[in-house]
Amino acid sequence: MRVLPFSAFVGLDELKKALLVLAVDNSIGGLLISGPKGTGKSSIVRAFAELLPVIEVITDCPFNCDPYDPSNMCDVCKERYEKGEKLPTKVKKMEVITLPIGATEDMVLGTINIERTLKEGRLVYEAGLLGRANRNILYIDEVNLLPDHIVDAILDAAAMGWNIVEREGISLKHPSKFILIGTMNPEEGELRPQLLDRFAIGVKVQTMRNPKIRAEIVRRNIEFEKDPEGFREIWRFKEEELKRKIAEARRLLDKIVVSEEILERISNTCVSLDVDGYRPDIVAVKVARALAALNGRTEITEEDITAGLKMALIHRTRAEGLKPPPSEQEILSAYYSSLKLRPRAQSKLKKRENISERKRFFPGWSF
């Protein structure tokens, strides 16, 4: 399926920013895109895949195992690696693995290949979508229409980074580390609060009401349909520039300084908004770091912090589900109020204790 180059999409700046953040630090987790149909949600995700780097995989492994990382190999590849076997490799582009609305548990988790089992006289496991999605993008369109048990299985794998299969005489474990992206149209039903919370960041998109922007969207789509290759050539430089930007940001990520003050601002904001758990605080910090890296900086700015808070909180219910997600204005108001709550001074001992505690949760980070 041919889609516009990522750089050529108009009016989706916040969504673009969120996708680039995931490209820089995919440990952040999943992205939930909420908005009406026809706003380019699916298309921009497919265009995003073109920006991601190629990966080297073990040729005959259905789970795209990394040949140089035994800690993230499936049981079969790890056994071969430990025996000293030379593993055949190949380079391939990252791809978008789409989960269909009618997906069954077998399709998601994997199942026994009956035909090959009968033919070969042994149990043959066929990888599910969670296996194929390893080191790729798992895209779920209309995630709010999927059965809860399917969504739970996917989110469990996304959180652990592994899929454990124990069924019909098969017992195996394989890596399932992917960039999870889900879309939903709120008019067709909401997600349970527990599931909303499992998506690390959220972005809301809307139909453009500005006539000039709508006209530009139409013009670019018509030009692309008329001459896809010529249109891609026009945008090639910007696409390559984005690829370089992502690669440089990945290298810079571990050098980003996260100060005690930044952590306090984010935590005070989350407390003020009655946000449940600690995951939103962690996500907001990670997003702020990734945004700083994308802009070639080693220091986090106020703009990075507020953007991180918006992405981390805009979709989350609060007060154990009794309050709806905060609006953008509520998030910003809570953040600026938090600046007045910050203690003016701390003892050196207390600062050292806090920094030590942060390093337990964020090993390798700079404070």
Amino acid (one-letter) located at 159: A
Residues 6+ apart with CB under 8 A from 345: none
Tell me the C-alpha distance between 246 and 166, whole Å: 38
Task: State the catalytic residues.
Answer: 279
Count Cβ neighbours within 10 Å for each residue of 283-309 and write b for 16 or more, e otherwise: bbbbbbbbbbbbeebeebeeebbbbbb
Single out the residue of 273, 196, 243 nearest to residue 30, CA to CA.
196
Cα-to-chain-centroid distance, residue 226: 33
Count Cβ neighbours within 10 Å for each residue of 142-155 and write b for 16 or more, e otherwise: bbbebeeebbebbb
Tell me the C-alpha distance between 275 and 88, whole Å: 48
**Distances in Å between the alpha carbon of 313 and those of 34, 271, 279, 304?**
13, 12, 10, 14
